[in-house]
Chain A
Amino acid sequence: MVETIVFYTLSALILGLGVAVITTPNTVHSVLFLVMNFLCVAVIYVVLEAEFLAVIQVLVYAGGIVVLYLFVVMLVNLKRDPEAHQDPRRLSLVGLALAGAVLLELAGIVVYSYSREPSAPVAAAAASPVQGNVEQIGWLLYTDYLIPFEVASVLLLVAMVGAIVLAKREL
């Protein structure tokens, strides 16, 4: 019962804030709605017993990425409304209608299939020598998923070099 209430409250918040992000005219407000959205997603992770991800969500997403967005919104000091100019050749309504139709179908398929066959756990979890969510994820990252973990470090280095190359004025 508690889970039901929590789920519906959080879902309403996440979706409402998501809609707010994409509809608000003011970019700064939009970023703030995004932070709140991410915090609600973090709570969903706690409900789903993914404590490590909840912490990461708050630290990296809400704390790191969104703050970066705020900085850029401030740096890109817009003198005029960014939505003021619209390409006359843009077929917004047609595209939107098409996208809406396709996406409703998507939601329908997902819900229909999941509700029809509550598929049993297919692959049993491999026996892990450690207990606790953080320990188990750490164990997986350093054993089974060592390769992508190391490649991710290359990816982050690329991102770092790239951001410096692009954002620095004179190089």
Chain B
Amino acid sequence: MEITPAHYALLSAALFIIGVVGVLVRRNIIIIFMSIELILNAVNINLVANARHLENLVGQVFVVFVIAVAAAEAAVGLGILLAFFRNKETVNIDEMNVMRW
């Protein structure tokens, strides 16, 4: 059986779903960050598979930028998390309750 772009699309969609479910279900902020990384990887798989299928490298260039952005977000996000942890001693998003309406 041949592997078609549809196979990669399905793999990418499945990984995307796993990431989204992780963001929605988990309460540990670090694991939510990691779920976002899974979503970005799903995007990357989709882009690379399409780049091969279309025989054009723009998709791969796109992935380079996505990885750069992921690195920038990870650095800033973990800095934000550390600042938050110093004040609250928790990484549970359900304990973020200073502001409520």
Contacts and interface: CB of A to CB of B under 8 A. Distances in A.
Looking at chain A's contact residues, is the secondary structure mostly helix, strand, loop, or mixed? helix
Question: Which of B20, B56, B75 has most chain A Cβ within 10 Å?
Answer: B75
A123 B56 contact: yes
Contacts, number: 231
A100 B17 CA distance: 8
Interface string A27-42: 1001100100110010
A28 B86 CA distance: 20
Interface residues of A, number: 87
Interface of B: 1-22, 24-28, 30-31, 33-35, 37-38, 41, 44-45, 48-49, 51-58, 60-61, 63-65, 67-76, 78-83, 85-86, 89-92, 94-95, 97
30 contacts: A27-B30, A48-B51, A50-B60, A53-B44, A61-B67, A65-B37, A69-B30, A69-B74, A75-B85, A76-B91, A82-B30, A82-B92, A85-B27, A100-B21, A107-B13, A111-B13, A115-B6, A121-B55, A125-B55, A125-B57, A126-B56, A128-B57, A159-B71, A159-B73, A162-B75, A163-B75, A163-B78, A164-B79, A166-B83, A167-B83
Given A65-B74, A73-B30, 19 more contacts: A7-B7, A15-B18, A18-B18, A30-B30, A49-B52, A61-B41, A69-B33, A75-B82, A76-B85, A82-B30, A82-B92, A85-B95, A86-B94, A103-B17, A107-B14, A110-B9, A121-B54, A155-B69, A163-B79
